[in-house]
Amino acid sequence: MLAGARTIRPRLAQLLGPKAGEVDRQLGELIDQAAAGQSVDVSILELLAERPATRDWIAKYLASDKRRGFTATPGLSGHVDADKYACPIPGCTSDWAKSRQGERVPGCAVHHVTLVRVGTT
């Protein structure tokens, strides 16, 4: 919750307009209290929940993946097949592999023709 309080402070003016100063002052006090070893998570949440704009922002922040650390999925990791494309002109070595779904297949830089799918990597 403390990280959320620090992150929202620069956004308060945009979220609250002229009322931002008072909320910023209160958050500053709570952050100082946390630095002194006091538990302030509930107080921060209560303060931010008082106004719809900050309540919505902190709810999205807490739900976002941006604040979570990386956790590997269970099991073995390994190679993931990707579609491979090549120039259809015989003897050309121009090829390309699709790295994500929906990615546009480029043309051959040498022959200026569309690459064709030739399998997977």
- Tell me the per-residue pLDDT of 39-92, one tens digit each, with 9 for 90 and over: 999 999 999 999 999 999 998 888 875 545 555 556 555 556 788 888 999 998
Determine the pLDDT at residue 79: 57
Please provide the distance, in angstroms rounded to a whole number, between the alpha carbons at the two ends of the chain: 44
Sheet holding 83-86, edge to edge: 95-97, 83-86, 116-120
Q: Which of the 8 DSSP states describes residue 65?
A: G
Q: Where are the domains of the chain?
A: 2-67, 81-121
Whole-angstrom distance, CA of residue 15 vs CA of residue 20? 8
- Residue range 96-112: average pLDDT? 83
- Candidate from 17-21, 53-57, 72-76, 110-114 with smallest mean pLDDT: 72-76
Percent of the chain with pLDDT strictly greater than 70: 86
pLDDT band at 27 (very low <50, low <70, confident <90, very high): very high
The bridge status of strand 83-86 relative to strand 95-97 is: antiparallel
Q: What pLDDT band is residue 93 in, cutting at 50, 70 and 90? A: confident
Distance of CA 14 to the CA centre of its chain: 21
Q: Report which secondary-structure segment, H or E, holds 119.
A: strand 116-120
Name the β-bridge partners of 23.
Answer: none
Q: Please give the Cα distance from 108 to 87 (Å, whole number).
A: 6
Total residues belonging to the chain: 121
Query: Residue 99 above 90 pLDDT?
Result: no
